[in-house]
Structure 1
Amino acid sequence: MTAAKNHEIPAELTIHTEAEDIIIPPSDLWSDEPPLESDLHREQIELLLACLKWWWRQRNDFYATGNLTIYFSPEQITTRDFRGPDFFVVKDCENRPRKSWVLLAEQGKYPNVIIELLSNSTAKVDKGLKFELYQETFRTPEYFWFHPNTLEFQGFSLVGGKYQPLEPNAQGWLWSQQLELFLGIYESKLRFFNINRVIPLPQRQQGGDVSGSKALAKR
């Protein structure tokens, strides 16, 4: 990704206070995200994570998480100007647990895919400030948003440095080139799809998520 070129990444983060300068190693930076809007938002994040991690269970070159702080500049430590996506995926990185995503500890890698879950209190920021941040600073190739209550759903792909709306297919799904999967709405939830079926939940893998497959076959 070319995003890392937008910033000079220091060797360590230093908090400047009146009393002293406190140096914090990247691995000690905890996530500092506010609580999620509702149970629907929490369940949606857990669903996306469970399905993608199962689908990519043979891979160890990605990191997928939700509601986790991304530290992309040292100033965030003092200004608390955090930008934690509701769901994001970074490719070509080590798959291991993290306290947060710190650019200086991750070779300057920004997310390849970001999904924000809209709410009445966050929609304006997600469609405005975060849209611009992900486009201009993160240079994240694909950005989606979804409202768990109203089911509003839209996706964008970075083309020539600007986000362009993705066109839905006949089923209303949007193709993610980064994930090589479709995203679409199924039973009022945002789900991942391959060519003709919903990606199953791990506990349904033996049955192949039969209910989803049958429903799609009828379309």
Structure 2
Amino acid sequence: MPEAALPIAAEQETVAARGVYTDAERELLRQLQLPEEDGVPLESHYHALQQQLLAEVIHQHFKGRTDYFCGTNMFVYYSLEQAQGITDFVEGKRESAPYKGPDLLVVVGVDGTKRRKHWVVWDEDDRFPDLLVEITSPSTKSKDTDDNLKLFAQVFRTREYFWYDEEAGEWMGYRLQGESYVPIEPNEQGWRWSEVLGAWLGVSELPYRGWRYRWLRLYDGAGRLVPTGEELAAAERERAEAERQRAEQAERRIEQERLLREQEHQRAERAERRAERERQRADAERQRAEQERQWAEAERQRAEQERLLREQAERRLAELEAELKRLRSDG
């Protein structure tokens, strides 16, 4: 993957060197009431959405940074002649205007907290945009794919330029080398690397604000789609919903484990009661057996006693009979 690169001091000095103005020119430039818009509507609803989408994901990609500026549909003023030409066009003094500005521009290494209604080169230490994007259409394709290449390379010296034709499914990216642009070769996914952004540009068919087009989007260095705010919110909702479901599952699992423990406790109690009843039955059986043994012993003793008494009675009877017999014989 190509390494991200920000402007170095030498590059900034080169940029400034091509925008040297005399004091008189600077005074005239300051006196101009620079228009912010010309009243010409964008080509289509898609055109406006694509601008907003690119700006949104660039801000997301650079989240936490204040050293860059990203603007959409913004005039770029870079010379007295061009500024006067735009002013005359807006005021109806001429039928056509010189180059006014891109669909999207990015400048790095500047104060991103500064409020800007347009990009005025002489008010920005003679800095031109580092990256430009044009959302082209049949009416602007010739300008975007030919005229702009010369202007951006030879006058702006803009490091990277991309144009995108959604209807035709075509787009290109260029990087400045010397006095001209060379195409940025796509990777296997058809994406093109931007050194200015430190990200890939590529086409995605995911919907944006409910609209389905082939959108020009950003992918980070790891190949992940840079999300929009809506996608982040949806991902957060999904994460929160997944977390809620995990919490519910954990609660159900805890409840199931509690019920299982309760059931196990009840089974243990029932088993203990059964064991106690069995013990009591065994004790009762032992007591009954002991009682029967005692009864049998008492019966045996009674029978023995009866036997002894009978034997004693029989002996006594024998003795009496013998005595009687003797007495009879003596008489």
So what's the TM-score if we normalise by structure 2? 0.57
* Structure 1 pair 37–170 and aligned structure 2 pair: CA distance change class (3 A): same
Give per-residue Cα distances to partners, 1:153-206, cap 9 Å, x unaligned: 110111122200111111110000111000000001000001221100012225
Distance in 1 between the 2:119 and 2:195 partners?
Answer: 23
Which of 143, 168, 178 aligns to 1:150? It is 168
1:42 pairs, out of 45, 48, 68, with: 48
Deviation, 1:78, is 2.3
Does structure 1 residue 31 correspond to structure 2 residue 36? yes
Determine whether 1:193 maps to 2:199. no
Aligned equivalents of 2:138 and 2:121: distance in 1? 30
Give distance in 2, aligned partners of 1:50 and 1:13: 36
Contact 1:13 1:74 (C-alpha < 8 Å) held by counterparts: no
Secondary structure in 2 matching 1:99: coil
Distance 1:101 1:154 in 2: 24
In the alignment, which of 17, 21, 26 is matched to residue 5 of structure 1?
A: 17
Q: Which has the higher strand share?
A: 1
Question: Could you say what secondary structure the match of 1:168 adopts?
Answer: coil
- The percentage of counterpart residues that share the same residue type is 32
* Aligned counterparts of 2:103 and 2:180: Cα–Cα separation in 1: 22
Please state whether the residue corresponding to 2:31 is helix, strand or coil. strand
How far does the alpha carbon of each residue in 1:11-47 deviate from its partner, in whole angstroms, 9 at most, with x for none?
A: 53527xxxxxx923xxx63323532111111000000
**Corresponding position of 1:14:** 28
1:19 corresponds in structure 2 to none
CA distance in 1, matches of 2:237, 2:77: 37
The 2-side partners of 1:186 and 1:204 are apart by: 13
Task: Give the direction of change, closer, same or farther, for the CA distance of 1:204–1:121 in structure 2 (3 Å limit).
Answer: same
Match of 1:123 among 116, 136, 141: 141
Question: Quick check: 1:3–1:137 contact (8 Å CA) kept in 2?
Answer: no
- 2: CA distance between counterparts of 1:100 and 1:209? 37
Q: Deviations over 1:113-139 (max 9, x none)?
A: 101111111111111221100000101
Aligned equivalents of 1:209 and 1:10: distance in 2?
57
**Distance in 2 between the 1:209 and 1:7 partners?**
49
Aligned residue in 1 for 2:3? none
Q: Show the counterpart of 2:252.
A: none
The structure that is helix-richer by fraction is 2
* Matched residue SS, 2:122: helix
> Which position in structure 1 is the counterpart of 2:64?
58
- Does the CA-based 8 Å contact 1:9-1:108 persist in structure 2? no
SS of corresponding position for 1:185 = strand
| TM alignment of 1:66-215, pairs within 5 A | 66-80=72-86, 81-95=98-112, 96-187=114-205, 188-194=214-220, 195-206=222-233, 207=235
* 8 Å contact from structure 1 (residues 145, 155) kept in 2: yes
Structure 2: which 5+ runs fail to align?
A: 1-11, 87-97, 206-213, 239-331
Q: CA deviation at 1:69?
A: 0.6
Residue 66 of structure 1 deviates from its aligned partner by: 0.9
**CA–CA distance in structure 2, aligned partners of residues 146 and 167 of structure 1:** 15
Give the counterpart letter for 2:35 in structure 1.
W
Please report how far the alpha carbon of residue 55 of structure 1 lies from its aligned counterpart in structure 2 after TM superposition. 1.9
Provide the C-alpha distance between the structure 2 equivalents of 1:68 and 1:111, rounded to a whole number of angstroms: 12
Determine which structure has more spread, i.e. the larger CA radius of gyration: 2
Q: Distance in 1 between matches of 2:215 and 2:117?
A: 27
Give the AA of the match of 1:23.
Q
Inter-partner Cα distance in structure 2 for 1:23 and 1:160: 35
Q: Distance in 1 between matches of 2:131 and 2:41?
A: 22
SS at match of 2:50: helix
